[in-house]
Amino acid sequence: MPGLIRGVARTAVVAGTATAVSNRVSRRQAGRWAQQDAQQAPPAQAPPAQPPSASGSTEDKIAMLKELGELKAQGVLTETEFEDQKRQILSG
């Protein structure tokens, strides 16, 4: 009986080790593939914001500021880009 238990225990250790190694290899490969995909994907570019209109009416400025706010909320514009565009709209 002790020989049988030893054999079962050895099998369990070998199987557990093999599973752990297999899982680690799979995670490492998935990480490498994700890095390759990220490097190959073209960077997302924000659409150019509309320049302020020549008339510069208050309604136009408000509409443009709302659009900028939506783009910022969606993550299309960074805080710096948002502030630059807002400054251009308000100064125009």
pTM over 0.75: no
Q: What is the pLDDT of residues 63-90, one digit of tens each?
A: 888 988 888 898 888 888 889 988 888 8
User: Looking at the predicted structure, is the pLDDT value of residue 45 above 70?
Assistant: no
Q: What pLDDT was estimated at residue 50?
A: 60
Condensed to tens digits (0 to 9), the pLDDT of residues 56-70 reads: 588 888 888 898 888
What CA–CA distances, in Å, run from 6 to 15, 40, 52?
14, 51, 81
